[in-house]
Amino acid sequence: MKKLIIANWKMYYGPVKAGAWIRAFRRERLPKELDVAVAAPFVSLAAVRASLGRASIPAIAAQDSFWEKEGPYTGAVSPIMLLEFGTEYCIVGHSDRRKYMGETDEMIAKKAQSLQAEGIKPVICVGETAAERKKGDALKVVRAQLRAAISKVKTDSKTPIIIAYEPVWAIGTGKPCSTQIAQEMHEAIRTVLQKKFNSAADDIQVIYGGSVEPRNILDYMTTTGIDGALVGGASLDPRNFGLLCRAAVPA
């Protein structure tokens, strides 16, 4: 299974800048050992699709989705709408949305379920805050978030889920999580997955996110149990993100 690296632009880049980013990134030389995706804002998905042309790299990802197919849900975007852009992945439960949009574990579970049902791979984010880690509750918090988030997904679906461990205290702070802590948390996540999915858990990718940069990406990619990365700030420049992708593979 290839390692997976996802660029999460967050609330940056409308259609004009998104199109320019994709056109620039298509000139980057990417390792064949990687799967690469870009999570763009809703308003930029059409520009990303158009700028890709016939190219399949990077894959298209969304940053969120609602759980209903259609209806009176002003401002919401459904999985079937995302499919029209060729969306392959969708982030759910990111700490930004938990913090600023009040998303609950129940909402995240319904989003993951609806995405999987439509054939879009949910990228389910879990992670503890600095206060929770200081109290010694990191494992407890992440296990609880994960159990809730995967409670509605199917174990026999043809559409896999991806888990992203993103310690909140490492996101955008320039203070990345140590590989030792990341490995410990990934092992705990894998144990939860094995209890629910049995042997099928071996095919679920568990990726890391939080101040990932070209200078440290290889450390994570070569740590046992880490299957890829969810990259924020370091993905905003297409050349820098291309450098990160190349740095993710041992020479």
Please pick, among 88, 94, 128, 186, the residue that the annotation labels catalytic: 94
186 counts as catalytic: no
Tokens at 118, concatenated: 């439509």
CA 20/CA 26 separation, integer angstroms: 10
Residues 216-220: contacts with CB under 8 Å, at least 24 apart: 216/176, 217/244, 217/247, 217/248, 218/247, 218/248, 218/249, 218/250, 219/179, 220/179, 220/182
33 counts as catalytic: no
* Cross-strand bridge partners of residue 223: none
Please pick, among 103, 128, 132, 166, the residue that the annotation labels catalytic: 166
Q: Per the omega criterion (within 30 degrees of 0), is the bond before 58 cis?
A: yes
Tokens at 193, concatenated: 């997955």
Report, as residue numbers or ranges, the catalytic residues: 94, 166
